[in-house]
Structure 1
Amino acid sequence: MNAQRKHNLLWTLLFAAISLVWIFPIVLVLINSFKQKAYISRNAFSIPKGKAFVGLENYRTGIEQTNLFVSFGWTIVVTVGAVLLILVCTSMCAWWIVRVNNWTAKTLYTLFLLNMIVPFQMVMFTLSKLADMLGFNTPWGLWFIYLGFGAGLAVFMFTGVVKGIPKELEESAMIDGASVPRIFFSIVVPIMRPSIISVAILEAMWIWNDFLLPYLTLDISKYKTMSIAIQYLRGGYGSVDMGAMMACLVLAIIPILLFYLLCQKYIIKGVLAGAVKG
């Protein structure tokens, strides 16, 4: 074995060990979702067997107590709607910023970059009040709030991609009589596809797992996302049905994990595409 192969093997083993550290909490949640709650607090790291093993009882209890399927539906509505709105608005905005390239576009781009560094804690109480006043305390109102918070990263990635698209393609289409919307959706969007998928994955993972923003803005008496519904497994005096909570967490993780695994190959492509030109 030559030096290069040894070097590659060491890096492979190192990253494999790091990946196990990241995967371990998920495995721990999965294991404890099949245990009685008394055994979870007694020994959370043990394999469920004997009296500790309850099969799918925790899953049934968690679904019944949280009405999880309804919450799952609202989570789908919030995530899909918000991601689609972010992708459409920010991709068009990034295209406009690059192609116009005047002081207005540059100022707008700077504001989008500043949007990424403003801590959410600075605006969360004002945001909650405004959401109630403007009627944005619904799942579809939440789409626009997520658009505001997610636009910075999306515009930043999309502008890098658009800078790498030759203007001649758009000029040729314009000479042939294509309208501006047709140029964008027929020429620009297909070239941006890897980055669009990358942004969709990143935004979807953030929105799907988000707890604080829906909790602060939604009318919880009518709408609960999965992250909010799981919190209602807490009983009186701070008691928590850990078995049912672990089961609900597994059910909440599975959809977004499958989505990530199906689309992960596009992440590197999208990031590299956005780094073609600064």
Structure 2
Amino acid sequence: MKRRNRSSSILLEVIAWVSGLLMLLPIYIMLVNSFKGRSEIFTDTFGLPESFSFEYYAAAMDKMNFLSAFKNSLLVSIISIGLIIIFSSMTSWMLVRLKNKLSNGILLLFVGTMLIPFQSVMIPLMQYLNKWDIPSLHFSMINTHYGLIFMYIGFGLSMSVFLYHGFIKGVPIALEEAAMIEGCNTWQTFWKVVFPMLTPITMTVGILNLLWIWNDYLLPSLTLTSPALRTIPLSTFFFFGEFTIQWNLAMAGLVVSIIPVIIFYLFAQKYIIKGVMAGAVK
């Protein structure tokens, strides 16, 4: 019996290693080919490059105007995620504490919107937002960063509220009552007592939305038309022409674009599984 269990354990471990290597294969291909010329990519796709030179990284960063694209992506991501965290945490707290039919209905409405694919609403959305153009005030929801941020907040709230709602159920209400007795109002109770206890799920919501917003191509492509406003996914797309594809520059651009996300994930990874599991169980 022990031998059978050991054999099963070894088999599962082998399967896990093979699955992990298969998942890492695209990253390996992207990394090694970012150092190769176009001819070397087609002759030896999986092999190591003949020489490790960063000339293709420099060319890719110059062609995609990386610093401007990075600044735009960082601005949109930070503001969008910050506002999503603020609005969704406050909304979830009130929905949990009210505990009535209205709060349950609002929660179901948030969850229900998660089932609607973006592709089914993108054309009516763009047509509607085009009407929000006020030239006299230089206000427009199209071809502006604040218009893109507004849409990211709208599409990101549903999942964030759902995650926060499950986690807040485990926050002891006695702490809030004690804060109220000590003289805290509702605003102070939330930000000084409740919100600090939501750090695990806040980090989870942050990284999940960062992965989505940072890598999103479709929504910025519909919203932003000015080259000066392009985010990193939009800048990377221009390596893929109608007749030719600059694979080496594209690979180098993709490697550079994912580095900030990897760095953030390394700092936040201990909170991600903890936050998701706590929210799902509670």
Q: Does 1:265 align with 2:276?
A: no
Letter in 2 for 1:126: P
Amino acid at match of 1:20: L
Residue of structure 1 equivalent to 2:224:
218
Whether 1:143 and 2:149 are equivalent positions in the alignment is yes
1:133 is paired with a residue whose SS is coil
> How far has the Cα of 1:267 moved from its partner?
1.1
The C-alpha deviation readout for 1:40-77, integer Å capped at 9, x for no partner, is: 1333222211xxx4611111111111111110110001
Secondary structure in structure 2 of the residue aligned to 1:264: helix
Report % sequence identity: 37
Which residue of the partner structure matches residue 79 of structure 1? 77
Q: Is the 8 A contact 1:198 1:271 kept in 2?
A: yes
> Which position in structure 2 is the counterpart of 1:36?
37
In the alignment, the residues of structure 2 paired with residue 8 and residue 256 of structure 1 have an alpha-carbon distance, to the nearest angstrom, of 34
Structure 1 residue 7: Cα displacement: 4.4
For residues 6 and 74 of structure 1, the distance between their equivalents in structure 2, rounded to whole angstroms, comes to 52
Judge conservation of contact 1:85–1:143 (CA < 8 Å) in 2. Answer: no
Unaligned runs of 5+ in 1: none
**Residue correspondence of structure 1 range 5-154 to structure 2 within 5 A:** 7-49=8-50, 53=51, 55-134=53-132, 135-137=140-142, 138-154=144-160
Q: Paired residue for 1:238?
A: 243
Matches of 1:219 and 1:101, distance apart in 2: 45
Q: CA deviation at 1:275?
A: 2.5
Please provide the CA RMSD for this pair.
1.8
In 1, Cα distance between equivalents of 2:104 and 2:254: 43
Which secondary structure does the structure 1 equivalent of 2:130 belong to? Answer: helix
**TM-score, normalised via structure 2 length:** 0.91
Paired with 1:170 and 1:6, the residues of 2 have a C-alpha distance of 52
Counterpart pick for 2:261 among 248, 256, 259: 256
Shift of 1:8: 4.1
Query: Residues 12, 264 of structure 1: CA spacing in aligned structure 2 closer, same or farther, 3 A cutoff?
Result: farther
Judge conservation of contact 2:68–2:228 (CA < 8 Å) in 1.
Answer: no
* Mapped contact 1:131–1:217 kept (Cα < 8 A): no
* Bigger Cα displacement from structure 2, 21-30 vs 253-262: 253-262
Deviation at 1:221, TM superposition (A): 3.5
Query: SS where residue 196 of structure 1 aligns?
Result: helix
Post-superposition shift, 1:6? Answer: 5.1
**How many Å apart are 1:34 and its aligned residue?**
0.5
Q: CA deviation at 1:239?
A: 1.0
**After the TM superposition, which of the residue ranges 60-69 and 91-100 deviates more from structure 2?**
60-69
1:87, CA displacement in angstroms? 0.5
- Aligned equivalents of 1:275, 1:241: Cα separation in 2: 44
* Residue identity matched to 1:31: V
Query: Residues of 2 paired with 1:244 and 1:18: CA distance?
Result: 29
The structure-2 alpha-carbon separation of the partners of 1:106 and 1:39, relative to structure 1 and needing over 3 Å to count, comes to same
Could you tell me how far apart the structure 2 residues matched to 1:229 and 1:102 are?
48
> What is the aligned partner in structure 2 of residue 184 from structure 1?
190
What letter is aligned with 2:99?
Answer: N
User: Normalized against structure 1, the TM-score is what?
Assistant: 0.92
In structure 1, C-alpha distance between the alignment counterparts of 2:86 and 2:104, rounded to whole Å = 20
- What are structure 2's unaligned runs of at least 5 residues? 133-139
On the 8 A contact 1:194/1:270 being kept in 2, the answer is: yes
Aligned-partner residue type, residue 141 of structure 1: G
